[in-house]
Every structure is written in structure tokens, then in C-alpha cells.
Amino acid sequence: MIVIDRIEKNTAVCETEDKSMITIPLTKLPPDCKEGSCLELDENGSYILLVKETALRKKQMEERLLRLFQK
């Protein structure tokens, strides 16, 4: 799984599963990708947006922030 860390100009800076950072041209990504989106590279070399994984990560991050600020 690849996660978009940030978008800079025409590229997405992404974190891979091994915690390394890569850049991907925005033209190679699905149009509705944004920071925090989870992606997968398919066998054809195309990036696929993982909608369920993205939503799950977002929910987990929101819960962590909530717990952090409730203390």
C-alpha cells in the first residue's frame, strides 16, 4: 500500500509500506486522490485508489487526535 503524504506542484509525495518516500506524477493517479489517500499499484502499472482503506485510515487518525486532545 502507498499513502499520499503531500502534493507538491504536479507530483504526489508518497510513503510506501517500507516507510520510504517516492514521488508520483499526478497524471498517473486517479483524479480524486488527495493527501492521505491510500493507493495500490496493479499488475498493469496503474495506481488504484483504495477507498475503504483510505476511509479507515482517516477514521483511525481522527480517533487518535480526539484521544490526544481529551487528556
The 3-state DSSP class for residue 61 equals helix
DSSP state, 56? H
DSSP helix, strand, coil percent of the chain (3-state; round to 5): 30, 35, 35
DSSP-derived pairing of the beta strands 21-25 and 38-41: unpaired
pLDDT of residue 70: 84
Structural domain boundaries enclosing 11: 2-70
Local confidence pLDDT in tens for the 71 residues of the chain: 999 999 999 999 999 999 999 999 999 999 999 999 999 999 999 999 999 999 999 999 999 999 988 86
pTM above 0.95, yes or no: no
Alpha-carbon Rg for the chain, nearest whole angstrom, is 13
Q: Domain count of the chain?
A: 1
CA distance 64 to 9: 30
